């Protein structure tokens, strides 16, 4: 029996009153499960969870080098709202920019195209 984790998704919220209607989406799919709809199914569930929590917006942070993930987020309706220069550092100590991508949850259904 294969016991690898296929993927996970979570929503993180800050307790501050001025940001409590926004959740941060964190998602990861194992390499062998990418491109087969696993991430899309996880995001659909996260949309539903976000709406049930009363969130009005979700955001995700990706590096511009994550081409596949950026494309997937855009197909789901996320849009780039900010680009932060040299925001993260990789394992080799090299800085990378971060794209902050968001989607409004108002009017979304749990059916992700």
pLDDT in tens, 37-55: 777 788 888 888 888 899 9
In this prediction, residue 36 carries a pLDDT of 76
89: which residues sit within 8 A by CB, 6+ positions away?
95, 96
Domain residue ranges of the chain, discontinuous segments joined by +: 7-104
For residue range 12-34, list pLDDT tens digits in order: 998 888 888 999 999 888 888 77
Q: What CATH number labels 7-104?
A: 3.40.630.30
Beta-sheet pairing, 57-62 with 22-29: parallel
CB neighbours of residue 12 within 10 Å: 9
């Amino acid at each position: 029996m294969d016991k690898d984790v296929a993927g996970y998704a979570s929503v993180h919220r800050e307790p501050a009153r001025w940001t409590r209607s926004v959740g941060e989406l964190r998602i990861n799919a194992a390499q062998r499960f990418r491109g087969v709809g696993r991430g899309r199914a996880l995001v659909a569930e996260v949309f539903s969870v976000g709406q049930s929590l009363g969130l009005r917006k979700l955001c995700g942070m990706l590096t511009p080098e994550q081409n596949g993930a950026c494309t997937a987020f855009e197909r789901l309706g996320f849009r780039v709202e900010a680009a932060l220069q040299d925001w993260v550092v990789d394992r080799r100590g090299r800085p990378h920019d971060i794209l902050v991508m968001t989607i409004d949850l108002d009017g979304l259904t749990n059916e992700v195209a």
